[in-house]
Structure 1
Amino acid sequence: MRTLHTTFLLAGHTVHRITFDPASFTEADLLWLPHHQQLTEAGRKRKADHLAGRIAAFHAVNRKTIPGIGSSGEPLWSAEVSGSISHSGTQAVAICNEKGLVGIDCEAIIDEREAREIQDGVIDAREAQVLAACGLPFDLAFTLTFSAKESLFKALFPRVQAWMGFESARVTALTADTLTLTLTCPLPPFAQNQAFTLHWCRLDSLIITLICEA
């Protein structure tokens, strides 16, 4: 599969980005993955997305190892680090840090009509007010909130080990480069009303959100 590796900085952290051509993917490409047999039943798109994400992760860990697949589908990082992977369209991103909370997500900006159709499953009335007051177009603000919740849940999952719905966190602030999410319920070891700050940036039509805390 044809790929291009680049990096960029977000909140002072290096993010590894893979631009890939899904049409050039072949089944033989998967043999590079030690866990390729776990993807036997996956569709072609899933395989290409997964491969691009793991290539990004490989660079993020200084080309030392390739994260496997956990029982809930999460990446399995080495014991010394925390990391996160995301992909959207022809882009994949990954980040790795010393132990701590790490979560990254990339999303194509959701069309406003679609965002309005699905917003009740992602945000509540209080969040809608925050988005309306933040000064950003609704499609951008909604995509940021959607993505930030994905990033936060990825970061919390290794400790929570439980499924988290969009209602588990509420956006309480949204600025030109950060979001604040507050837990609406206890997620042990994290307490109800615990707040987390995430950073975001826009790359063309792609939104990247990141939480990276020691």
Structure 2
Amino acid sequence: MYTTYSTFLLAGHTVHRITFDPATFTDADLLWLPHHQQLSQAGRKRKADHLAGRIAAFHALNRKTIPGIGSSGEPQWPAGIAGSISHSGTQAVAICSKNGIVGIDCEAIIDEHEAREIQDGVIDMREAQLLAECGFPFDLAFTLAFSAKESLFKALFPRVQAWMGFDSARVTSLAAHTLTLTLTCPLPPFAQNQAFTLHWCHIDTQVLTLICDA
């Protein structure tokens, strides 16, 4: 599969990015992955996305190892490392840190009509009002809320080890380059009303959200 590698900084953290051409993917490309047999029944898109994400993670880990697949489908990072992977369209990103919690997510900006249709499953009335008053177009603000919750849940999962719905956290502020999520329920070891600050950026037709609390 044809790929290009680059990095950029978000809130002082290095994000490793792979841009890839899924049309050039072949099953033989998966043989690079130690866990390639676990993907034998996956569809072509899933395979290409997964491969691109693991290449990004390989760079994030200083080209020393490739994260496997955990029992819940999560990346298996080396001991002492917290990391996260995301992919959207023809882009995959990864980041890791030696300590703390780490979550990253990239999303194509959701069309406003679609956002209005699905918003009840992602945000509550208080969040909808906040997004309407934040000064950003609704499609951008909604996509940021969606993405930020994905980033937070990825970051918390290694410690919570439980499924988290979109109603588990609420957007309580949205500003230029930062967003705050507050837990609406206890997720041990994290307490109800615990707040987390995420950073975000807008790249072309996508947004990227990041929590890296090292």
> Smaller-chain TM-score range?
over 0.9
**Cα root mean square deviation, aligned:** 0.4
1:188 is matched with 188
Deviation at 1:112, TM superposition (A): 0.3
Q: Give the alignment of 1:92-171 within 5 angstroms.
A: 92-171=92-171
Amino acid at match of 2:112: E
1:12 is matched with 12
1:59 is matched with 59
Q: How many residues align?
A: 214
Q: Secondary structure at the match of 2:30?
A: helix
1:70 is matched with 70
- Take 1:4 and 1:207, find their aligned partners in 2: how far apart are those partners? 20
Q: Secondary structure at the match of 2:145?
A: helix
1:40 is matched with 40
Deviation at 1:80, TM superposition (A): 2.0
- Take 2:129 and 2:205, find their aligned partners in 1: how far apart are those partners? 24
- Take 1:99 and 1:66, find their aligned partners in 2: how far apart are those partners? 18
- Take 1:34 and 1:181, find their aligned partners in 2: how far apart are those partners? 36
2:178 is matched with 178
- Take 1:197 and 1:62, find their aligned partners in 2: how far apart are those partners? 27
TM-score scaled by length of structure 2? 1.00
Amino acid at match of 2:212: C
The C-alpha deviation readout for 1:124-175, integer Å capped at 9, x for no partner, is: 0000011011100000000000000000000000000000000000000000
Amino acid at match of 2:109: I
Deviation at 1:206, TM superposition (A): 1.1
- Take 2:94 and 2:202, find their aligned partners in 1: how far apart are those partners? 16
The C-alpha deviation readout for 1:19-68, integer Å capped at 9, x for no partner, is: 00000000000000000000000000000000000000000000000000
